[in-house]
Structures are given as structure tokens and as C-alpha cells.
């Protein structure tokens, strides 16, 4: 599987960037760093990244006046690097909404608190002052609001008697270095996880009129309420190791035609007859538009006439 390409944005020492960089050196790490960019030419982390052979760029410190040009230039450089994800690692800039929306769902940040507690600065002192038993760190998806996007993972870190903000920060940093690479690895491979695939199928299937979900033969199964089934999700059924979606075909011989055209992806599901086809979801590069089309087409095969009529009207809009 090709590695996900990551651009890391830093402002200072870049120890989290270094943690990502060294995690990426493992052969089985699913990501690689293709760019380290900083909002200052002398951010110390740049020297390290460059010495490790990662392309770097240190932009001249932007002033309030040239903030939008800075983010445009940064965005351009990230895209030129081929990165498909951005990891913020101590990047001390408020991001404009236009920059964030260009990386919607593909930009992560690490924050030294157990979000939603203590957004912004001085997180360590605020946790100590509040008398919390634990502080910690969070990795979250970046949205336009500061430190506000969905949290992907957290590590709680015990506050010790006599901790200062600095001693606590140093301990949390150890946890940050572990958490960031692990979470980023899981995030860039999430579409290969059966649970993610099932949720995606569920989202599409349950958006169809009168669709419901039950367990049938031990598999999540989607059908018309009190009616016929139009999809099964199979995951390692009877230990076969296969993750696939079973849908109803739309024409005689379609099963055979699909299998012949792409035998790696389509197959004849056992016990289902010739009017169903299995679509392997564990082969990588799933085309979810196509899978959505197949689910909708399968629904149409079993939907009562009245519902089909309603669907046609809805689709005409």
C-alpha cells in the first residue's frame, strides 16, 4: 500500500515533527513526511528535518498585513509537495477559514490538554491551578474554531505533587510523541478498517427510504422495513478473512459480467445465487461513489413500487 504523504507545519523546536519523522522511518509506517514548513526561516526544527533529508521551507515571518498571502503561499507549497494530509505540530498561527477548508478532514493538530478542556495557551498551568488529577494531550481534526475539531485520541498524564507547568509539559511531551504518530497512522489507514467501511455503507444504506439495519446470519444487513433485504456487509464471516459488500445485481448475467471484468474485486457469494454479487472492500482504492450507486441500485431491485415512485420524484429534484 502506498504511504500517505504528510506535510508538517511547525513554528519552533519541532519535537513532535521529529517524533513523526522517526516513526515514519519504520518500513511498516503508513505515512511519510514530504515537507516540513515553518512560519519563520530559523525555526530550529527545520535544521533537523533538512538533515534527515525531508524537504523544508521556512517562510519569512508573516506580518498581520501579509497574513493571507502567507497562507496562500503555504497552501501552494504543501500542494506542490504532493501531501494529502497536513499535521500541525506546534504551529503557532491562527489559521484562516479558507486555509482550513482546503484541508477539510485532512489536517490534524496535537494539543497539550485533554480537550475540550483548556483550549488555547497555558494549558499546563491551567490544569494545575484547577487541581486536576490528570492533564494530557489530544490529537484532533482541525476545524476553523481554535482547538475545537473532533478529537481522535487522547493520553491522560498524571499531575504529580509539586509539578510546575514546565515539569508537567515535559512529561506530557513524552506522551505527545507517542500519541501523534500512532493516531496519524490510524487516521491515514482508517478507510482500510472494516469498522470505517461498515459505517460508510451504513450511512449510504440508511439514507435510502424506509431502510433499516438488522443482523442476519451474523452479518449487518440492510433492508426495507418489514420488506426485502438489499445489502449484507460481511467481515471475516466463518473466518474467511474477507471484507465485502453483497448487493443485488440489476440484470441477468450481471454477476458473471462483473466477475469477468474485475475478478479481484467481484465474486459470487456462496448461498446467494446468481442475482447477487460480492464487492471486495479489502482490496484498497475503494470507489465509494460506485459502491453508493450499487447500493442504491440494489435498493431499487427490492423496493415496493410506491417507494420507487417516491424515489424517482426525489431524484428529479
> Considering only residues 159-198, where is the footprint of ligand GRF by CB under 6 A?
173, 176
Residue-by-residue DSSP string for 257-307:
HHHHH-TTTEE--TTS-TTEEEEESSSS---HHHHHHHHHHHHHHHS-HHH
**Coil, helix or strand for 38?**
strand
Among residue numbers 13 through 32, which ones bind ligand GRF (CB under 6 A)? Answer: 13-16
Minimum CB–partner distance for residue 190 and ligand GRF (Å): 22
Least Å distance, CB 286 to ligand GRF, is: 33
Q: What are residue 273's DSSP bridge partners?
A: none
Q: How many residues does the chain have?
A: 317
Beta bridge partners of 235: 243
Task: Give the residue with the Cβ less far from ligand GRF, 114 or 247.
Answer: 114
Q: How far is CA 248 from CA 24, 36, 65, 286, 313, in A?
A: 42, 48, 59, 19, 23
- Which of 90, 269 has the CB closer to ligand GRF? 90
Closer residue to ligand GRF, CB minimum distance, 129 or 287? 129
Of 5, 12, 292, 297, the residue at the interface with ligand GRF (CB under 6 A) is 12
Give the interface size with ligand GRF as a residue count (CB under 6 A). 14
Contact residue for ligand GRF among 7, 10, 38, 303 (CB under 6 A) = 10
Q: What is the side-by-side order of every strand in the sheet holding 276-280?
A: 211-216, 219-224, 229-235, 243-248, 276-280, 266-267
In the complex with ligand GRF, the residue whose CB is nearer, 121 or 158, is 121
Residues 101-120 that bind ligand GRF (CB under 6 A): 110-112
Minimal distance in Å, beta carbon 88 to ligand GRF?
7
Minimum distance between the CB of residue 77 and ligand GRF, rounded to whole angstroms?
19
Considering only residues 63 through 92, tell me which ones interact with ligand GRF, judged by CB under 6 A: 89-90
238 is catalytic: no
170: part of which helix (H) or strand (E)? Answer: helix 165-188
Closest contact distance (angstroms) between CB of 71 and ligand GRF is 18
Could you identify the residue written with the cell 410506491? Answer: 306
Tell me which DSSP letter residue 253 carries: T
301 CB-near residues (< 8 Å, 6+ apart): 230, 248, 249, 250
| Identity of the residue, 54 or 204, whose beta carbon is nearer to ligand GRF in the bound complex | 54
Per-residue b or e along 194-230, where b marks 16 or more CB atoms closer than 10 Å to that residue's CB = eeebbebbbebbeebeebebeeeeeebbbbbeeeebb
Q: Is 93 in the site for ligand GRF (CB under 6 A)?
A: no
Least Cβ distance, residue 102 to ligand GRF (angstroms): 21
Catalytic residue from among 111, 124, 140, 177: 111
Cα 110 from Cα 272, distance rounded (Å): 47
Minimal CB distance residue for ligand GRF: 90
Q: For residue 110, give the 3-state DSSP assignment.
A: strand
Name which of 10 and 108 has its Cβ closer to ligand GRF.
10
Question: Footprint of ligand GRF on this chain (CB under 6 A)?
Answer: 10, 12-16, 89-90, 110-112, 137, 173, 176
Give the residue numbers marked as catalytic.
111
Amino acid at each position: 500500500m502506498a504511504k500517505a504523504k504528510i506535510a508538517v507545519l511547525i513554528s519552533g523546536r519541532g519535537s513532535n515533527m521529529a517524533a513523526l519523522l522517526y516513526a515514519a522511518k519504520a518500513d511498516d509506517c503508513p505515512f511519510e513526511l514530504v515537507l516540513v514548513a515553518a512560519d519563520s526561516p530559523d525555526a530550529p526544527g527545520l535544521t533537523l528535518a533538512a538533515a534527515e533529508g525531508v524537504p523544508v521551507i521556512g517562510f519569512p515571518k508573516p506580518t498581520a498585513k501579509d497574513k493571507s498571502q502567507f497562507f496562500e503561499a503555504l497552501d501552494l507549497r504543501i500542494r506542490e509537495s504532493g501531501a494529502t494530509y497536513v499535521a500541525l505540530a506546534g504551529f503557532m498561527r491562527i489559521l484562516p477559514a479558507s486555509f482550513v477548508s482546503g484541508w477539510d478532514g485532512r489536517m490534524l493538530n496535537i494539543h497539550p490538554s485533554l480537550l475540550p478542556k483548556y483550549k488555547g495557551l497555558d494549558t499546563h498551568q491551567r490544569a494545575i491551578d484547577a487541581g486536576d488529577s490528570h492533564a494530557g494531550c489530544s490529537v484532533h481534526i482541525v476545524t476553523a474554531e481554535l482547538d475545537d475539531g473532533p478529537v481522535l485520541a487522547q493520553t491522560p498524564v498524571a499531575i504529580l505533587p509539586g509539578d510546575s507547568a514546565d515539569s508537567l509539559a515535559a512529561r506530557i511531551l513524552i506522551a505527545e510523541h507517542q500519541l501523534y504518530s500512532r493516531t496519524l497512522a490510524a487516521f491515514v489507514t482508517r478507510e482500510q478498517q472494516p469498522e470505517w467501511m461498515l459505517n460508510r455503507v451504513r450511512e449510504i444504506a440508511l439514507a435510502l427510504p424506509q431502510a433499516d439495519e438488522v443482523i442476519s446470519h451474523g452479518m449487518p444487513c440492510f433492508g426495507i422495513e418489514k420488506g426485502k433485504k438489499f445489502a449484507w456487509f460481511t467481515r471475516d464471516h466463518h473466518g474467511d478473512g474477507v471484507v465485502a459488500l453483497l448487493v443485488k445485481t440489476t440484470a441477468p448475467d450481471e454477476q458473471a459480467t462483473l466477475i469477468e471484468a474485475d475478478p479481484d474485486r467481484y465474486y459470487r457469494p456462496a448461498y446467494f445465487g446468481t442475482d447477487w454479487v460480492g464487492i471486495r472492500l479489502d482490496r484498497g482504492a475503494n470507489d465509494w461513489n460506485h459502491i453508493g450507486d450499487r447500493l442504491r441500485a440494489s435498493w431499487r431491485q427490492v423496493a415496493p413500487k410506491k417507494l420507487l415512485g417516491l424515489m424517482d420524484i426525489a431524484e428529479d429534484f
